[in-house]
Amino acid sequence: MVTDLHMAGMSGIELQAEMLRRHCAKPVIMMTAYPTSAARQQTMTCGACAFLTKPHDPDALLDAIKAFTA
């Protein structure tokens, strides 16, 4: 799943935590235009496979997707 860190109603970190709570083990690629080291750490600790900064490098996004679909 590709999601944004900042969304209306629920943050990407909250979405990731809810997925874990529901035992929905899907690879998460988190994207944000406002990266912080704390957000990166929390996202990766919760099991994200990538933390990308917007504007993102299309090749980096494709590489992150390919890593979990091959």
In DSSP terms, which residues pair with 20 in a beta bridge? none
3: phi then psi, degrees, rounded to nearest 5: -140, 165
Q: In this predicted model, what pLDDT tens digit does every residue of 23-60 receive, in sequence order?
A: 987 889 999 999 999 999 999 998 899 999 999 889 99
Q: How big is the CA angle at 61 (ends 55 and 63), to the nearest 5 degrees?
A: 150
| 53 vs 69: which has the higher pLDDT | 53
> Residue 70's pLDDT is what?
63
